[in-house]
Amino acid sequence: MNKKTIIAAAVWLALGTMSAQAASAQNEQLSGSAVYSDPGFQEFVETSYGYLKPGSGLKTSSALRDAVASPAKTGKYVYVSVMVKKSDYAGLLSQLGASAGFKMSGERICRYRNAKTICIMGWMLEGSLGQVRKNPLVAKVSVEKPVK
């Protein structure tokens, strides 16, 4: 064997034993604890990273949370897109929130009958779909598959 191979093997062995003896950088006591499933912590993470965008939508309720620390009673929610008849839909949002438990997640531009219209996306109680379809400010309601 030549010198380079012997030196490389010695360095590899020395570094390998040093890394095997290093302590874990993770704190295993916190994993699985109620600290990370607390709704307050989840809301902090969601708003600070931009998931909820608190300035642009309705206040989200704890009914959509899956926190183990404090589970909430929920109804069956479905993800829907609601096509609105007017471009100013602020009044419609408050109506849908009060009557159908609607939680807005965003909006998009849709094409319908050769015209561009606004669709608002969000979650609502399944039992209130018929009531929302009858609303005079709603052009169309469809159940969607949530984007992951």
The parent domain of residue 48 ranges over 35-73
Let me know if residue 12 belongs to a domain: no
Let me know if residue 17 belongs to a domain: no
Check residue 84 and give left, alpha or beta (phi > 0: left; psi -120 to 50: alpha): beta
Let me know if residue 10 belongs to a domain: no
Q: Are residues 82 and 125 in the same domain?
A: yes
- Among 22-31, 45-54, 67-76, 80-89, the range with the most confident prediction by mean pLDDT is 80-89
Q: Are residues 51 and 94 in the same domain?
A: no
> Of 89, 100, 138, 144, which is closest to residue 121 (Cα–Cα)?
144
Q: Looking at the 3D structure of the chain, how many domains does it have? A: 2
Q: Please give the average per-residue pLDDT across 7-14, as a whole number.
A: 78
CATH code for the domain in which residue 112 is found: 3.30.70.260
> In the chain, how long is the greatest CA-to-CA distance?
87
Let me know if residue 140 belongs to a domain: yes
How far apart are alpha carbons 105 and 57 in whole angstroms? 7
What does DSSP assign to residue 24?
P
Q: Which of 73, 94, 127 is the last residue of a domain?
A: 73
Say which residue, 116 or 147, is predicted with more confidence: 116
Q: Are residues 58 and 89 in the same domain?
A: no
What does DSSP assign to residue 28?
T
pTM (whole model) above 0.75: no
Q: What is the pLDDT of residues 98-114, one digit of tens each?
A: 888 888 888 888 887 78
Say which residue, 90 or 39, is predicted with more confidence: 90
